[in-house]
């Protein structure tokens, strides 16, 4: 009996250290271990494990160290899988993504007849007289033949139809729509737009740029319930692609719906909404005051920059170019407004403290945007000289010289003149780019631009060689909301079939590590949020993606079949691959 007591006592004494150790482990909510953690910091560092407590990351390091220190409510053995920060789409029309899922989808219509079949199917389920809207058609797939109103009239004689091209810069409408909009042979082109006409001067069926507004303004806007339903669909898509932050869309009108989703704990992505650059400064400030009065959590929902347009798109030949299109010598594009007016508006909004993101596709529009941002610094110098006090000049040079203070952006920055790349860097202007545009446009971009200008097109590697911050996005629903296609395009410069061999303009390819950083850290930087998300580090929000394949090592083609195993948002698993 005595020997048994001694044995039991011995076992208890030996086990005390382990028992004490278990009692002193720090409790956390989630622990990921045995993985390849790509932190997306500037050194492209990797680790093995991440500890999360609540909404924040509390530790990053080796598996043995973190398992010895932390006890988690849920532990996930990554089995060597790659983990990255959650993707942050720096340019997406998120409410538009949702609405597109509810409307006519013409993406991938390789023939006019296929597009007509899809439209006819929608007509059958739509009451007579009700508008039919949608987007996604691409006439460059139809032997470059623009569609006509007659192509719609026979399949939709009693429903007005309005269908935007894939890029959103021109639209196709039927006779009923033109009739309701009161657009006739004598209707003049609006500034910054064009009503395409036939040989007799009659409306042909297509309206470009601002002329779209002549029809769009009479279409009943989507109801809040429709926006709500669409956003739920868009959020569901985002989870499936590891997208945890979105920026953009001129979605200020949808703000009440976003606020509703947040209050219902259904907003499973961080949303930075853009305001309309064209609104007056007074209206923009009032919009922000009204939003601030709601006292919402800005890490989940906020206003960010002002979005403005300088031109159209290359696909519709409405991008403003310094010289005519190589395949259309009489056309240099359609600027949205005069250079003088645009620069005046830029300076005014900068002085009011707004960050701006200006849509600029052509080299002319990119130059105008840069000229405008240059003028904001000149204006600041003048203001400084008026701010004299007894102590001398107010130290506003810090504001002038600090390129980080506004972080103005150019959205797309698709075609840039050689001398203007350096200006982006000198002015601290962010190039907000969408890699899938390059692999979609490569079929005709060379013909549009010619062999010289094309070297400055979709040039994310060249931008980075100048030290320019480059943020990545999709521009969905213009392109698909597919984060892996974005990465694939950035590193391969090939279409989805793998053409051309070696990539189109291959000098612009990026290493995968850099492409991921552009899609995480740089996107966060573009919205002044790099101190709270975009890298995997202590104190950052726990927005992470566990990938099915190692993006850093697999062949390019396998990127397209990679998917999230887990999407983690705000410290919670919101998507798990079954």
Would you tell me which CATH number, out of the four given (3.20.20.140, 3.30.1370.60, 2.40.50.140, 1.20.140.10), belongs to the domain 310-510? 3.20.20.140
Domain spanning 27-80+532-578, CATH class: mainly beta
Burial label for 502, CB within 10 Å (0-12, 13-18, 19+), is exposed
Q: What are the φ/ψ torsions at residue 546 (nearest 5 degrees)?
A: -100, 120
**Residue 525 pLDDT > 70:** yes
d(CA 522, CA 71): 33
Share of the chain above pLDDT 70, in %: 91
Q: Provide the CATH topology of domain 94-216.
A: Diaminopimelate Epimerase; Chain A, domain 1 (3.10.310)
Triad 494, 487, 560: Cα angle to 5° = 70
Confidence of residue 501 (pLDDT cuts 50, 70, 90): very high
Residues 27-41 pLDDT 10s: 999 999 999 999 999
- Which residues, 6 or more positions from 288, have their beta carbon under 8 angstroms from its beta carbon? 275, 303
Angle between helices 281-292 and 339-351 (to 10 degrees): 40
Q: CA 124, 126, 127: angle at the middle one, nearest 5?
A: 115
Element (H, E) at 275: strand 270-276
94: enclosing H helix or E strand: helix 94-100
Q: Mean pLDDT across the chain, nearest whole number?
A: 91
Instruction: Give the pLDDT of residue 58.
Output: 98
Question: Could you give the residue range(s) of every CATH 3.20.20.140 domain in the chain?
Answer: 310-510
- CB 321, CB 346: distance < 8 Å: no
pLDDT reading at 190 higher than 80: yes
Buried b (16+ CB within 10 A) or exposed e, 56-88: ebbbbbebeebbebbebeeebebeebbbbbbbb
Average of per-residue pLDDT across 412-427 = 97
Please report which confidence band the pLDDT of residue 23 belongs to, taking 50, 70 and 90 as the band edges: low
What pLDDT band is residue 382 in, cutting at 50, 70 and 90? very low
**Tens of pLDDT, residues 436-489:** 999 999 999 999 999 999 999 999 999 999 999 999 999 999 899 999 999 999
Residues of the chain with CATH 3.10.310.70: 94-216
All CATH 2.30.40.10 domain ranges of the chain, comma separated, are 27-80+532-578
For residue 304, give the DSSP letter. Answer: E
- Number of residues that make up the chain: 578
Mean local confidence (pLDDT), 530-540: 98
Counting runs of H as helices and runs of E as strands, what totals does the chain give? 20, 26
């Amino acid at each position: 009996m005595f020997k048994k007591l001694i044995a039991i006592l011995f076992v208890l004494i030996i086990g005390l250290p382990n028992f004490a150790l278990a009692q002193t482990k720090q409790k956390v909510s989630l622990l990921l271990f045995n993985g390849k953690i790509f932190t997306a910091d500037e050194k492209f560092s990797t680790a093995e494990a991440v500890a999360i407590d609540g909404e924040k990351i509390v530790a990053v390091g080796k598996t043995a160290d973190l398992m010895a220190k932390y006890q988690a409510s849920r532990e996930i053995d990554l089995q060597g899988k790659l983990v990255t920060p959650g993707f942050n789409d720096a340019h997406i029309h998120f409410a538009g993504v949702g609405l597109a899922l509810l409307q006519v989808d013409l993406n991938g219509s390789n023939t006019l007849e296929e597009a007509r079949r899809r439209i006819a199917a929608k007509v059958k389920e739509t009451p007579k007289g009700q508008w039919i809207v949608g987007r996604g058609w691409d006439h460059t797939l139809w032997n470059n033949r623009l569609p006509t109103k007659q192509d719609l009239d026979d399949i939709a004689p009693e429903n007005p139809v309005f269908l935007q091209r894939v890029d959103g810069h021109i639209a196709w409408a039927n006779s009923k729509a033109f009739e309701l909009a009161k657009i006739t042979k004598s209707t003049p082109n609006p500034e910054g737009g064009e009503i395409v006409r036939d040989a007799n001067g009659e409306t042909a069926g297509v309206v470009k740029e601002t002329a779209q507004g002549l029809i769009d303004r009479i279409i009943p806007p989507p109801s809040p319930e429709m926006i709500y339903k669409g956003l739920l669909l868009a959020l569901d898509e985002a989870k499936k692609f590891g997208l945890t932050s979105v920026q953009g869309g001129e979605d200020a009108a949808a703000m009440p719906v976003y606020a509703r989703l947040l209050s219902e704990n259904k907003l499973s992505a961080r949303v930075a909404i853009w305001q309309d650059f064209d609104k007056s400064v007074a209206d923009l400030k009032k919009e922000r005051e009204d939003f601030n009065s709601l006292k919402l959590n800005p890490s989940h929902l906020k206003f960010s920059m002002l979005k403005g347009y300088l031109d159209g798109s290359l696909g519709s030949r409405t991008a403003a170019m310094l010289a005519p299109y190589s395949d259309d010598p009489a056309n240099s594009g359609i600027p949205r407004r005069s250079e003088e007016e645009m620069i005046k508006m830029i300076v005014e909004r900068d002085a009011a403290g707004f960050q701006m993101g200006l849509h600029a596709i052509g080299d002319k529009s990119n130059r105008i945007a840069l000229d405008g941002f240059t003028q904001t610094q000149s204006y600041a110098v003048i203001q400084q000289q008026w701010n004299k006090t007894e102590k001398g000049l107010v130290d506003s040079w810090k504001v002038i010289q600090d390129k980080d203070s506004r972080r103005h952006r150019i959205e797309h920055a698709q075609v840039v003149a050689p001398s203007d790349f350096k200006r982006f860097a000198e002015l601290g202007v962010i190039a907000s780019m969408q890699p899938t545009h390059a692999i979609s446009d490569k079929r005709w971009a060379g013909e549009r631009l010619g062999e010289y200008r094309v070297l400055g097109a979709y040039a994310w590697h060249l931008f980075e060689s100048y030290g320019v911050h480059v943020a990545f996005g999709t521009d969905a629903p213009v392109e698909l909301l597919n984060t892996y296609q974005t990465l694939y395009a950035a590193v391969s410069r090939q279409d989805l079939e793998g053409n051309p061999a070696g990539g189109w303009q291959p000098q612009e390819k990026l290493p995968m590590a850099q492409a991921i950083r552009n899609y995480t850290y740089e996107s966060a930087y573009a919205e002044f949020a790099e101190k709270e998300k975009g890298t995997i580090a202590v104190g950052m929000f726990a927005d992470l993606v566990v990938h099915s394949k190692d993006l850093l090592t697999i062949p390019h083609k396998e990127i397209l079949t990679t998917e999230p195993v887990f999407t983690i948002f705000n410290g919670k698993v919101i998507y798990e691959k079954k």
